[in-house]
Amino acid sequence: MRAALITGKGTVELREFPDPVPAPTGVVVDVAFCGICGTDIHAYQSGRPYNPAICGHEWSGTVSAIGTEVGSLTEGDRVVVAVAPSCGRCTACRRGQPDRCEIAFLSVLGRDPLAPPHGGFAPQIAVAAARVVKTNPGLTDEQAAQVEPLTVAFHAVRTSALQLGDVAVVQGAGPIGLGTMQWVRAAGAGQVIVVEPNEQRRELALQLGAHRAVAPGEEADQVIKESTHGLGADIVYECVGRPFAIQAAVDLARRGGAMCLIGLADSDAAISPGAWLIKEISVTSALAYQHEEFEMSMGMIADGRVVVEPLHTSTVGLDGFEAALADLASGNSEQTKVLVDPNRQ
């Protein structure tokens, strides 16, 4: 069985692996689709060591084999990849902080005991049964493959300081930014402004419900001032994932406002501490999600409150993965979300 791995800067390898078998507490999933994530792109751009288990962590598929100790799933169940539920035994759980479960966090990082030697850019994958959630029957496999990144955005908005009626700014209109924008609207923001340099993505943001979509710089500054009587945004969601964007997010917020950090920059960022202090900025951040949030986000995708179909712009097979990754990493891509079908010939 072939699986695609990012093994260095600008380097993708198709490696042979034995067909997976389930551990006693695990399952094997036949992968239908796997999305290319921003972290995959950053790994390809930087060449920094990248855990093979998370090289392709946005997948949907069908259970094809179950371990002897698994009672919650059966062969034929459609599933999406998730984070493991809280264990109830680690230090964080015993202190009453199950949302900070150390064991669940290991599964986010692909460091749990049953972490596979490759990710979802493969026809099959063996994982812990606790790491999959049954797919909402109202979703197609293509929609289901986009549940993981949409749940990242769902968790970020759910745990942020957003208040009903807020003027919210979303920096970046990639898949995470466009998902965040939709969740912000669903959560009751009064006005949502997207800041994005790519005109095509700005148009998509407007189609998906943004009130305004503007280019960064002077245009964004002016629109936000006009929308807030010169005060600045109530909350800014940083979804660009570049060092410069962190201070830019604070600059757009009002005094007493908030910033939610979602984009993962791959290097240190320069900030102006005086601006943070003077504005008394409240900061939240979101790296991943909680197990129960997958069903919540799937339900709202299934009922149409959040849509993912317009984000999916193309599908490639394993042989087209490297070219798609290079295009996304170029900074000039016309793609938004690329799905990989590992069974495509």
Give Cα 180 to chain centroid, integer Å.
10
Q: What is the pLDDT of residue 267?
A: 87
Alpha-carbon distance 56 to 45, whole Å? 16
> Cα 181 vs. chain centroid, distance in angstroms?
13
Q: What is the pLDDT of residues 270-298, one digit of tens each?
A: 999 999 999 999 999 998 999 999 999 99
Using one digit for the tens of pLDDT, what is the confidence trace for 140-158? 999 999 999 999 999 999 9
In the numeric block, which tokens belong to residue 247? 């201070």
What tokens appear for 115 in the block?
């972490």
pLDDT tier at 340 (50, 70, 90 boundaries)? very high
Assigned architecture for domain 2-149+289-340: Alpha-Beta Complex (3.90)
Contact 190, 165 (CB under 8 A): yes
> Considering only 9-13, 146-150, 332-336, which range has the smallest mean pLDDT?
332-336
Whole-prediction pTM: 0.94
On whether the CB atoms of residues 231 and 254 are closer than 8 A, the answer is yes
Beta-carbon contacts of residue 271 (< 8 Å; ≥ 6 apart):
246, 247, 250
| pLDDT tens, position by position, 181-227 | 999 999 999 999 999 999 999 999 999 999 999 999 999 999 999 99
Are the C-beta atoms of 34 and 59 separated by less than 8 Å? yes
Report d(CA 271, CA 253) in Å as an integer: 14
Instruction: Count CB atoms within 10 A of the CB of residue 272.
Output: 11
Token look-up 């179950």 returns: 66
Query: Side-chain half-sphere of 88: how many Cα atoms within 13 Å?
Result: 1
Q: What percent of the chain has pLDDT over 90?
A: 97
Closest-CA residue to 65 (of 30, 113, 41, 95): 30
Superfamily of domain 160-285: NAD(P)-binding Rossmann-like Domain (3.40.50.720)
Q: What is the residue extent of each domain of the chain?
A: 2-149+289-340, 160-285
> Looking at the predicted structure, is the pLDDT value of residue 315 above 80?
yes
